[in-house]
Amino acid sequence: MKWVAYTDGGCAPSNPGPAGWGVVLIAPDGVTESDHYGFIGPGTNQIAELTAAIEGLSRVPEGAAVELVSDSQYVLKGISEWRAGWERKGWRNSKGEPVANLALWKRLFALVDARRVSTRWVRGHNGESYNERADALANQALRLKASSS
Protein backbone atom coordinates (compact mmCIF):
# COMPACT_ATOMS: atom_id res chain seq x y z
CA MET A 1 0.00 0.00 0.00
CA LYS A 2 1.17 3.50 -0.75
CA TRP A 3 0.12 7.09 -0.44
CA VAL A 4 -1.11 8.91 -3.55
CA ALA A 5 -0.69 12.68 -3.88
CA TYR A 6 -2.55 14.43 -6.70
CA THR A 7 -1.08 17.90 -7.07
CA ASP A 8 -1.84 20.95 -9.15
CA GLY A 9 -0.93 24.60 -9.19
CA GLY A 10 -1.79 27.58 -11.27
CA CYS A 11 -1.96 31.32 -11.73
CA ALA A 12 -4.98 33.48 -12.47
CA PRO A 13 -5.94 35.68 -14.14
CA SER A 14 -2.50 35.70 -15.79
CA ASN A 15 0.85 33.93 -15.74
CA PRO A 16 2.79 35.27 -13.96
CA GLY A 17 0.21 36.47 -11.49
CA PRO A 18 -1.49 35.42 -8.28
CA ALA A 19 -0.57 31.77 -7.69
CA GLY A 20 -2.19 28.93 -5.74
CA TRP A 21 -1.76 25.21 -5.20
CA GLY A 22 -3.98 22.21 -4.43
CA VAL A 23 -3.37 18.66 -3.23
CA VAL A 24 -5.62 15.64 -2.86
CA LEU A 25 -3.91 13.12 -0.62
CA ILE A 26 -5.08 9.52 -0.46
CA ALA A 27 -3.83 7.43 2.46
CA PRO A 28 -2.51 3.89 1.99
CA ASP A 29 -5.87 2.46 3.07
CA GLY A 30 -7.26 3.79 -0.21
CA VAL A 31 -10.24 5.27 1.61
CA THR A 32 -9.01 8.20 3.67
CA GLU A 33 -8.73 11.34 1.56
CA SER A 34 -7.76 14.87 2.52
CA ASP A 35 -7.75 18.14 0.63
CA HIS A 36 -5.10 20.83 1.05
CA TYR A 37 -4.62 24.15 -0.69
CA GLY A 38 -2.97 27.50 -0.30
CA PHE A 39 -2.23 30.87 -1.80
CA ILE A 40 1.39 31.57 -2.73
CA GLY A 41 1.23 35.21 -3.75
CA PRO A 42 2.78 36.51 -6.96
CA GLY A 43 4.29 33.67 -8.96
CA THR A 44 4.33 31.61 -12.13
CA ASN A 45 2.62 28.37 -13.11
CA GLN A 46 5.96 26.60 -12.62
CA ILE A 47 6.30 27.94 -9.08
CA ALA A 48 2.70 26.93 -8.33
CA GLU A 49 3.21 23.39 -9.68
CA LEU A 50 6.45 22.94 -7.72
CA THR A 51 4.81 24.26 -4.55
CA ALA A 52 1.90 21.83 -4.96
CA ALA A 53 4.31 18.89 -5.24
CA ILE A 54 6.27 20.12 -2.20
CA GLU A 55 3.09 20.54 -0.17
CA GLY A 56 1.81 17.12 -1.20
CA LEU A 57 4.99 15.23 -0.37
CA SER A 58 5.51 17.13 2.88
CA ARG A 59 2.26 15.60 4.16
CA VAL A 60 3.49 12.04 3.60
CA PRO A 61 5.63 10.45 6.33
CA GLU A 62 9.33 10.10 5.63
CA GLY A 63 10.23 6.65 4.35
CA ALA A 64 6.74 6.01 2.99
CA ALA A 65 5.95 4.94 -0.54
CA VAL A 66 4.06 7.63 -2.43
CA GLU A 67 2.89 8.10 -5.99
CA LEU A 68 3.09 11.74 -7.04
CA VAL A 69 0.47 12.39 -9.71
CA SER A 70 0.60 15.62 -11.67
CA ASP A 71 -0.34 17.17 -14.99
CA SER A 72 2.95 19.09 -14.89
CA GLN A 73 5.62 17.66 -17.17
CA TYR A 74 7.92 20.31 -15.69
CA VAL A 75 7.68 18.82 -12.18
CA LEU A 76 7.72 15.18 -13.18
CA LYS A 77 10.58 15.46 -15.70
CA GLY A 78 12.55 17.54 -13.21
CA ILE A 79 12.31 14.67 -10.73
CA SER A 80 12.78 11.77 -13.12
CA GLU A 81 14.93 13.07 -15.99
CA TRP A 82 16.58 16.45 -15.46
CA ARG A 83 17.88 16.28 -11.89
CA ALA A 84 20.98 14.19 -12.53
CA GLY A 85 22.15 16.48 -15.33
CA TRP A 86 21.46 19.61 -13.31
CA GLU A 87 23.51 18.28 -10.41
CA ARG A 88 26.32 17.12 -12.68
CA LYS A 89 26.44 20.56 -14.32
CA GLY A 90 26.45 22.49 -11.03
CA TRP A 91 22.73 23.32 -11.18
CA ARG A 92 22.88 24.59 -14.77
CA ASN A 93 20.37 23.64 -17.42
CA SER A 94 21.08 22.38 -20.94
CA LYS A 95 21.70 25.97 -22.10
CA GLY A 96 24.29 26.49 -19.35
CA GLU A 97 21.99 28.87 -17.48
CA PRO A 98 21.18 28.57 -13.77
CA VAL A 99 18.23 26.26 -13.12
CA ALA A 100 15.09 28.34 -12.61
CA ASN A 101 13.33 28.04 -9.24
CA LEU A 102 16.36 26.29 -7.76
CA ALA A 103 15.36 26.80 -4.11
CA LEU A 104 12.01 25.10 -4.77
CA TRP A 105 13.67 22.27 -6.70
CA LYS A 106 16.07 21.64 -3.83
CA ARG A 107 13.17 21.53 -1.34
CA LEU A 108 11.31 19.11 -3.61
CA PHE A 109 14.36 16.86 -4.09
CA ALA A 110 14.93 16.69 -0.32
CA LEU A 111 11.33 15.50 0.13
CA VAL A 112 11.69 12.99 -2.72
CA ASP A 113 14.93 11.64 -1.25
CA ALA A 114 13.26 11.06 2.13
CA ARG A 115 10.43 9.00 0.62
CA ARG A 116 10.00 6.24 -1.96
CA VAL A 117 8.49 8.33 -4.72
CA SER A 118 7.09 7.16 -8.03
CA THR A 119 5.57 9.59 -10.49
CA ARG A 120 2.64 9.49 -12.88
CA TRP A 121 1.59 12.07 -15.43
CA VAL A 122 -2.08 12.73 -16.15
CA ARG A 123 -3.42 15.01 -18.84
CA GLY A 124 -4.81 18.16 -17.24
CA HIS A 125 -8.46 19.15 -17.65
CA ASN A 126 -9.25 15.76 -19.10
CA GLY A 127 -11.82 14.46 -16.62
CA GLU A 128 -9.48 12.60 -14.23
CA SER A 129 -11.46 13.20 -11.04
CA TYR A 130 -8.62 13.61 -8.53
CA ASN A 131 -6.61 15.83 -10.87
CA GLU A 132 -9.70 17.96 -11.47
CA ARG A 133 -10.20 18.15 -7.69
CA ALA A 134 -6.59 19.29 -7.13
CA ASP A 135 -7.09 21.93 -9.84
CA ALA A 136 -10.32 23.08 -8.17
CA LEU A 137 -8.49 23.37 -4.84
CA ALA A 138 -5.77 25.54 -6.39
CA ASN A 139 -8.47 27.74 -7.90
CA GLN A 140 -10.28 27.86 -4.55
CA ALA A 141 -7.12 29.23 -2.95
CA LEU A 142 -7.01 31.94 -5.61
CA ARG A 143 -10.72 32.81 -5.13
CA LEU A 144 -10.43 32.95 -1.35
CA LYS A 145 -7.44 35.29 -1.60
CA ALA A 146 -9.23 37.47 -4.16
CA SER A 147 -12.34 37.75 -1.97
CA SER A 148 -10.29 38.71 1.08
CA SER A 149 -8.34 41.44 -0.74
Report the alpha-carbon distance of residue 145 to residue 103 in Å, rounded. 24
Interhelix angle 129-148/45-58, nearest 10 degrees: 110
Q: Is 35 one of the annotated binding-site residues?
A: no
Residue 128 is labelled as binding a ligand: no
DSSP bridge pairs for 41: 19
**Residue 135 known to bind ligand:** yes
Q: Determine the Cα–Cα distance for residues 130 and 70; give it in Å rounded to an integer.
A: 10
Q: Which residues are annotated as a binding site?
A: 49, 71, 135
Q: Which residues are annotated as a binding site for Mg(2+)?
A: 49, 71, 135
